Amino acid sequence: MSNVCHLCGKRKVAGGSITRKGLAKAQGGIGMHVVKNNKRTFKPNIQSVKIVEGGTTKKVKMCASCIRSGKFSKA
């Protein structure tokens, strides 16, 4: 089973971690300059949960925000 939320379809997404150098203009510098942009992934908080779906008990993976929302019935 993949690392995807059963309810909302939330999955990992790609992004970047930007490294900046310099003194901000508000503090008297010439501004922050981008030095490096490292690729990284943002992973959702996926957890295994037992739910009742169609009268049967199922073990699925859900993100923490969907678990908190309570849009399903726990087994």
pLDDT of res. 20: 96
Contact 14, 30 (CB under 8 A): no
Can you give the residue range of the structural domain that contains 61? 13-69
pLDDT of res. 75: 86
> Which stretches in the chain have pLDDT values below 50?
none
Is 26 within the bounds of a domain? yes
Is 6 within the bounds of a domain? no
Q: What digits encode the pLDDT tens for the residues 25-35?
A: 999 999 999 99
Is 29 within the bounds of a domain? yes
Asked whether the whole model's pTM tops 0.85, one would answer: no
Domain count for the chain: 1
Is 75 within the bounds of a domain? no
Structure-block tokens of residue 37: 């942009």
Is 45 within the bounds of a domain? yes
For 52-63, letters b (16+ CB in 10 Å) and e give eeeeeeeeebbb
pLDDT of res. 33: 97
